[in-house]
Amino acid sequence: MIKQKATELGFSFCGISKADFLEEEARRLDSWLKEGYHGKMKYMENHYDKRLDPRLLVEDAKSVVSLLLNYSTDQEQADPEAPKISKYAYGKDYHFVIKDKLKVFYQFIQDEIGEVGGRVFVDSAPVMDKAWAKKSGLGWVGKNTNLIHPKQGSYFFIAEMILDLNLEYDGPIKDYCGTCTKCIDECPTDAIVQPYVVDGSKCISYLTIELKDELLPHEFSGKLDNWMFGCDICQDVCPWNRFSTTHKESLFHPHDALLKMSKADWEDLTEEVFQELFRKSAVKRTKYSGIKRNIDFLR
């Protein structure tokens, strides 16, 4: 019933795993933080225990329902010279879109099953979403550390519901990356320091979104491959994404003017145009000053 409702709400895939301590991820997270791969994302050091145990987020949690929502698109920016935006940020901010779906979903469970305790999440709390999606069989975590679904690739948002409800659990699937190293070879900043380990502080998405410094580090000059917000390289080159299909979520369609903007338009971007283009977009996270900083760095 839960999986059927997920499909009705437009989610691409749904998997369920037992709410338990993430032992393997605990070791990996510990090592990743000690190496300083989180850069200036100090929040990654917070709520360490909650990240690894959903029962600390929802009392008496029994199940984690993982959900994938496709954002793949064949639409592209018209000017090949224009600074680039990651596909996931073309349309309305996914946090709003998915949160609305999750609220309806949770209410449905209350109405159908009764008083179920739980919480819903989409990047909104210390939840290791890829780990839970992997445990519930929605894919494997690839060498670029993205979740890869064997039938539709990796262009997905991940969300979850943590519930105090016993459900039938799915199991993980195999890793099918094989000997492929395309994501590692193609990353212009060498952020994938070894298979399955990303140094976040070198990642173009981190540099253009998470890093709030007034200036970007000089060492990355000429290495951002013209990305001004996010980066899709390690997904674009992944062979599994030849199976990706175009999303069906109208709210993810870009603002009419966004894809038509030329290189010159971006370089002359005013705050007024920024606010109009990205009114309800994830791009607002960088603010106008952040986007200007990134565009200037690309010149």
Kindly state the tokens that stand for 96: 């709003």
Tell me: pLDDT of 121 over 90: yes
* In the predicted structure, residue 277 carries a pLDDT above the cut 80: yes
Asked if pLDDT for residue 105 goes beyond 90, the answer is yes
Contact 200, 206 (CB under 8 A): yes
Residue from 178, 180, 278 nearest 234 by CA: 180
The domain locations on the chain are 2-298
Model pLDDT, residue 256: 86
Query: How much is the pTM?
Result: 0.96
Identified catalytic residue from 123, 170, 175, 225: 123
What's at 127, amino acid-wise? V
> Are 39 and 211 in contact, with CB atoms under 8 Å apart?
yes
- % of the chain residues with pLDDT over 70: 100
263-to-180, 219, 274 alpha-carbon distances in Å: 34, 24, 14
At 125, the pLDDT band (50, 70, 90 cuts) reads confident
Confidence check: pLDDT of 124 > 80: no
The CA-based angle 24-26-29, given to 5 degrees, is 110
pLDDT at 196 over 80: yes
**Per-residue tokens: 174:** 């195999």
- Name the burial class of residue 83, with classes exposed (0-12), middle (13-18) and buried (19+) by CB atoms within 10 angstroms of its CB: buried
pLDDT at 220: 98
**Residue reference for tokens 């990651």:** 86
Strand partners, 68: 13, 158
pLDDT in tens, 152-177: 999 999 999 999 999 999 999 999 99
Cα separation of 119 and 85, whole Å? 31
Active site residue 123: yes
Let me know if 22 is exposed, middle or buried by CB neighbors in 10 A (0-12, 13-18, 19+): middle
CA nearest 229: which of 29, 125, 84, 130? Answer: 84
Tokens of 157: 């948002």
Q: What is the mean pLDDT of residues 50-78?
A: 97
Decide if pLDDT at 123 tops 80: yes
Q: Please give the average per-residue pLDDT across 165-194, as a whole number.
A: 98
* Cα 29 to Cα 10: distance, rounded to the nearest angstrom: 32
Average pLDDT estimate for 31-47:
95
Mean pLDDT on 267-285: 95
Predicted pLDDT at 45 = 92
How confident is the model at residue 6, as a pLDDT?
98
Q: What is the pLDDT of residues 241-258, one digit of tens each?
A: 999 999 999 999 999 899
DSSP string covering 187-238, please?
A: -TT--EEETTEE-GGG-HHIIIII---SS--GGGTT-STTEEE---HHHHT-
Instruction: Name the nearest CA neighbour of 32 among 122, 117, 131.
Output: 131
